[in-house]
Amino acid sequence: MIDFPIDALLDDAACLGWLEKHLHPDGFVCPRCRSTERRVARRRGAFPSYRCRACDRYHTILSGTAFEKTLQTPAKLVLILRGIAKGESTSRLGRELELSRRQMGTLRRRVQENLFATLPRTVSEEAIFEADELYQNAGEKR
């Protein structure tokens, strides 16, 4: 089997924009005071960092998310989210992205805990659900 460096084929700027859009759907704000006013503190590295103009807190687009203290590139984070959404195994994702199984498991657990925390806690009374029958042929009977 040939191993391709798939994360090297993705554009980091496009992945950074995609992550910002999906990690902060209501807009990128300071995690402490919720202000949108910020200045660039550091441009180096995979993720630019900012300082809030209101409270002077240092933050990136990963602050307050499941990926807060990870050192992965934007392309790898997008591929990790894609793999989790597709239901790929932790060991396969780790091999594909050149991460240890333990590190990949930690990232998967953080994402799943974050998703579980955002689940609705009450059953909607207004929702109408429809269920269809399922016919499955189990093969020829003898």
Residues paired with 38 in a beta bridge: 52
pLDDT at 5: 62
Mean per-residue pLDDT, 40-66: 86
What letter represents residue 25's amino acid?
A: P
Note the pLDDT tens digit of each residue in 59-79: 888 888 889 888 888 999 999
Range with the lowest mean pLDDT among 3-7, 36-40, 92-96, 126-130? 3-7
**Which of 29-38, 62-71, 130-139 bottoms out in mean pLDDT, i.e. has the lowest?**
130-139
**Looking at residue 1, what is its pLDDT?**
45
Mean pLDDT of the chain: 84
Q: What is the mean pLDDT of residues 84-96?
A: 91
Residue 42, pLDDT above cutoff 70:
yes
Distance CA 139, CA 132 (A): 22
